[in-house]
Amino acid sequence: MIHIKNHLAAWIALAVLLAVPPVSAVADNVVPPVSASNDSKDNPKWVKGVGDPFAGKQKSLICQGCHGVDGHSTDEMIPKLAGQYEGYIAKQMRNYQAGTRTHEYMNGMASPLSDQDLDDISAYFSNQTRMKGKPSALNKRGQELFLKGNIAKGVMICVYCHGGAGKGLESDIAMYPVIGGQNKAYLIKTLKDFRQDERFNSPSIIMNKIVRSLSDADIEALSDYMSSL
């Protein structure tokens, strides 16, 4: 039953995305290549997607220097990559290469990588034990926004696209990243980047629109909640 609901939510989300008119030159409508999906929330299997996770292990050592062992980053400002969707990681890397996402380190890190390297590294990280948050006191305000949004203010319900525990949708839709269990300071930063249009690489700038009317306190509460999942 849950599964059917998830699929329904995925289709609703997709319909919403497709219904949003394409916006200006900053819109990035490239849908990432869909890879074989992980069908377990916390323990992704070693699946063969677009890339080769075994080859990716060696190639990802430099990345692990910042993103933590196997992508379990303990630096609050550096996102965890462990158990993130392969298609999402690869898309971000291609966005850094193309300059449609910018960061002082990451554009330089991405630019020398071949398509094959990038797919292999993405496959490696996506097959690690999925990121998990530190248990903390329940942030009720954050939970409320996450589960119910604020329709009057145009804040869409996060769960529709990111899944109940923020682990994405357990189907082959790799475009919705895992956000549950991600580092809090990174979540705050990237949500503010979306709000200020400093990050504009989501399809049809959907994330920018969703967070537009969130206050700093809303973002703090949401990030606190998501990072605990």
Structure tokens at 7: 């699929």
Specify the length of the chain in residues.
Answer: 229
Q: Is 67 in the site for ligand HEC (CB under 6 A)?
A: yes
191 binds ligand HEC (CB under 6 A): yes
Residue among 3 and 148 whose Cβ is closer to ligand HEC: 148
Nearest approach, Cβ of 198 to ligand HEC (angstroms)? 9
- What Rg do the C-alpha atoms of the chain give, in angstroms? 16
Burial tier of 151 (Cβ tally within 10 Å: 0-12, 13-18, 19+)? exposed
For ligand HEC, the binding residue among 23, 34, 66, 98 (CB under 6 A) is: 66
**Alpha-helical runs (H) found in the chain:** 2-19, 53-59, 61-67, 86-98, 106-110, 115-126, 140-148, 158-162, 184-195, 206-211, 216-227
Part of the chain binding ligand HEC (CB under 6 A), chosen from 36-44, 46-54, 61-69, 130-138 = 61-69
Task: Answer yes or no whether residue 160 interacts with ligand HEC by CB under 6 A.
Answer: yes
Q: Closest approach of Cβ 75 to ligand HEC, in Å?
A: 8
CA atoms of 179 and 219, how far apart (whole Å)? 13
Report if residue 11 touches ligand HEC, rule: CB under 6 A.
Answer: no
Q: Which structure tokens are listed for 90?
A: 């690869």
- HSE-CB at 205 with a 13 A cutoff on CA atoms is 20
User: Which CB sits closer to ligand HEC, 137 or 195?
Assistant: 195
Nearest-approach distance from CB 125 to ligand HEC, in angstroms: 7
Binding to ligand HEC by residue 130, rule CB under 6 A? no
- C-alpha to C-alpha distance for 111 and 45, rounded to whole angstroms: 29
User: Out of 65, 114, 134, 152, which residue is the one contacting ligand HEC (CB under 6 A)?
Assistant: 65
The count of residues interacting with ligand HEC (CB under 6 A) is 46
Chain centroid offset of residue 138 CA: 22
Q: Residues in the site for ligand HEC, rule: CB under 6 A?
A: 13, 16-17, 62-63, 65-67, 77-79, 81, 89, 91-93, 103, 105-106, 109, 121, 145, 149, 155-158, 160-162, 175-177, 179, 182, 187, 189-191, 201-203, 206-207, 210, 222
